[in-house]
Amino acid sequence: MNCIKTDIEGVVIIEPHVFKDARGYFFESYSKREFDEKVRPVDFVQDNESCSTKGVMRGLHFQRPPFSQSKLVRCVKGAVLDVAVDIRKGSPTYGKHVAVELTEDNHRQFFIPKGFAHGFAVLSDVAVFQYKCDEFYHPEADGGISILDDSLGIDWCIDYMEAILSEKDTKHPMLKDFDSPFDINIDLYKK
């Protein structure tokens, strides 16, 4: 796999080595050994999948400590714009984001560490989205910032007026009104 560093340390785009022939293609979507060596050691404990239609926006979500999550995400059908926003107090990149288009054709994956809010927008008619998490889902630890916050400077590639959001996602605070539970000086990878 090829790991592409981004402008925010720890946020990584992963391109697998895809082997194609007349029958189709094959690639390793995840190898713990290679991931631990090239990205960071992570013990994923839960896999999730969602299916959404064009214009759906999900996010920007995170789980509060001590249940914070790292995620390894990919789009197995269709296309999404996937985004990670740094919400670690004291971080030189606080409030900055990394965006990457994940598609069934480019097979890219995106690693979002703990201390980041995550969201995506569906660009294709339908998108099937998969993600690995290193912590189980804890609804009592749910958190979020508004996916529609213009101060984040995210070009979601879809019209806000046509976006389809859950009721929960319409109620998250703007970044300026947000009190982050994450701190750049705390090692979020200690259990």
Predicted confidence at residue 187, as pLDDT, reads 66
Task: Give percent helix, percent strand, percent coil of the chain, each to the nearest 5.
Answer: 10, 40, 45
Predicted confidence at residue 85, as pLDDT, reads 98
Is 172 among the catalytic positions?
A: no
Please report which confidence band the pLDDT of residue 180 belongs to, taking 50, 70 and 90 as the band edges: very high
User: In terms of C-beta density within 10 A (0-12 exposed, 13-18 middle, 19 or more buried), how is residue 122 classed?
Assistant: buried
Is 61 among the catalytic positions?
A: yes
Q: 61, 97, 107, 118: which one is catalytic?
A: 61
Please report which confidence band the pLDDT of residue 161 belongs to, taking 50, 70 and 90 as the band edges: confident
Q: pLDDT tens digits, residue range 105-159?
A: 999 999 999 999 999 999 999 999 999 999 999 999 999 999 999 999 999 999 8
Q: 97, 107, 131, 172: which one is catalytic?
A: 131
Q: pLDDT tens digits, residue range 40-89?
A: 999 999 999 999 999 999 999 999 999 999 999 999 999 999 999 999 99
The answer regarding whether domain 44-183 maps to CATH 3.30.1600.10 reads: no
